Amino acid sequence: MSEAIKSTRPKHVAPGQYLGYALQPVRLCFHLLTCPPLALVSLEHLDDVTVHYPDGSILLEQTKSALSQNPIADWANDFWKCLANWLSSVSAGTVAPDFASFRLYVTPVKSGPRATALSHATSQDEIEKIFSHVQTSLKKMKKAPSCLSHIEAVLGSTPEIRHKVISRFQVVSSDPDPLDPIRALLKTTVGPALIDPLCQFAIGRAKETADALIRTGKTPMIAGDQFKSDFRHFVQKNNLPSFLTPLTTAPSELDVSSLLAMHPVFVQQLDLVQVDEDDRVRAVSDFLRAAADKTTWSEAGIVFESGLKEWDDELIRRHRMVRGEVSDIHADKDPATRGRIIYRRSSQMEPSLEGRAVPGHFVHGCLNALADEKTIGWHPEFETLLKEKIG
């Protein structure tokens, strides 16, 4: 397997990463799957993640990963900065507090006496009593905490605004892993081996949708109804025993352009038969996605190594048949033209993998992977020409 294929493996063990994604896209996905009808969910718009309900109310959620520290400790900078930002937004009129609720989501599970007290406080007297205790504690400290500027911002707001925010404030820190709530939504409908791959697909699709909106200058706000409908359709397709559904999203333009610039062997093979730029870009995209599919399906136990070996052998066999037919029928054409015909006819093949149909990009991507290994080629003299090119 080439280095390009190896590099597509998910980073399951990266600190603060969940199936390769940061916490915000995970929470975006969760809210898209659980929000009520007609609700919208935005990423990094009014807050880290915001749920926009059809009645005009909103849920502002700050997300904090607590792998190396406790964001809701009594003097935690994250905690006080979060409160200060919300109070500032309300004071500036950016957020209407009568129609907003405020959530601090922390994972894995952490606790903090002051954060818990404020999360439970509802009356203005309860809230002001807590802040009075904060002022008293500050005066007794020999050294000011690093969060002092944020505390001063909170204490500098009016009691009325503090009450509007804090009475609608909640700390949520009950998930050892933020993927668990999403897994819980899936575990009664799909087999255990599919749960994490489906989570990965859903989170990737949510992030990809938000990123696409940002790139076009639009607000990254996604309709929950459409997202749920698309995901249900995807899960139903994946549960069909006769079809292997891709559990990965298309690679980014940056990933495609980066690999294209490296000019790997399979791209050199395409150069030999003079394909156009669109074909080269599609080849790189399908190469990357097919590699990711192989990894994800294998790790989920959906396909096996022996099945993938038989798949490659079948592609090689069919490629040889196409090559022989083109040689017989199109002997009058120049080598580059014959090579393009071989390439395009091979890409239209529809073999099955372990008795199941596969998506079109997978066939195309795997053919280019074999071309990258020089097991197959498009130009009738590809082996000689590649040796000369390397030399």
Per-residue pLDDT reduced to its tens digit, 15-30: 456 767 899 999 999 9
Instruction: Give the predicted TM-score (pTM) of the model.
Output: 0.64
User: Does residue 202 belong to any structural domain of this protein?
Assistant: no
H-assigned helices in the chain: 3-6, 23-34, 77-91, 113-120, 124-140, 148-156, 159-166, 180-186, 192-215, 224-238, 253-262, 265-272, 277-299, 305-329, 335-347, 360-372, 382-390
Pairing, β 49-52 against β 40-43: antiparallel
User: Does residue 45 belong to any structural domain of this protein?
Assistant: no
pLDDT recorded at residue 234? 80
By mean pLDDT, which of 58-62, 69-73, 352-356 is the weakest?
A: 352-356
User: Does residue 9 belong to any structural domain of this protein?
Assistant: no
Do residues 168 and 276 share a domain?
no
Question: In which domain, by residue range, is 163 found?
Answer: 67-172
User: Does residue 324 belong to any structural domain of this protein?
Assistant: yes
Q: Which helix (H) or strand (E) segment is 261 a member of?
A: helix 253-262
Nearest of 332, 73, 26 to residue 200 by alpha carbon: 26
User: Does residue 128 belong to any structural domain of this protein?
Assistant: yes
By mean pLDDT, which of 160-164, 172-176, 228-232, 368-372 is the weakest?
A: 228-232
Distance CA 288, CA 195 (A): 23
CB 203 within 8 A of CB 10: no
CB 160 within 8 A of CB 127: no
Do residues 257 and 354 share a domain?
yes
pLDDT recorded at residue 110? 96
Do residues 269 and 376 share a domain?
yes
Q: Is the pLDDT of residue 14 over 60?
A: no
pLDDT recorded at residue 239? 61
Among 172, 195, 212, which residue terminates a domain? Answer: 172
Do residues 385 and 284 share a domain?
yes
Among 105, 138, 172, which residue terminates a domain? Answer: 172
Do residues 257 and 136 share a domain?
no
Q: Please name the residues in contact with 185: beta carbons below 8 A apart, sequence gap of 6 or more.
A: 33, 34
Do residues 259 and 150 share a domain?
no
Do residues 258 and 382 share a domain?
yes
User: Does residue 158 belong to any structural domain of this protein?
Assistant: yes
What would the two tokens of residue 71 be? 């964001």
Q: Is the pLDDT of residue 353 over 80?
A: yes
Number of domains the chain is built from: 2
Q: Is the pLDDT of residue 176 over 50?
A: yes
297-314: average pLDDT: 88
User: Does residue 57 belong to any structural domain of this protein?
Assistant: no
C-alpha 188 chain-centroid distance: 23
User: Does residue 212 belong to any structural domain of this protein?
Assistant: no
pLDDT tens-digit readout, 84-133: 999 999 999 999 999 999 999 999 999 999 999 999 999 999 999 999 99
Q: Is the pLDDT of residue 193 over 80?
A: no
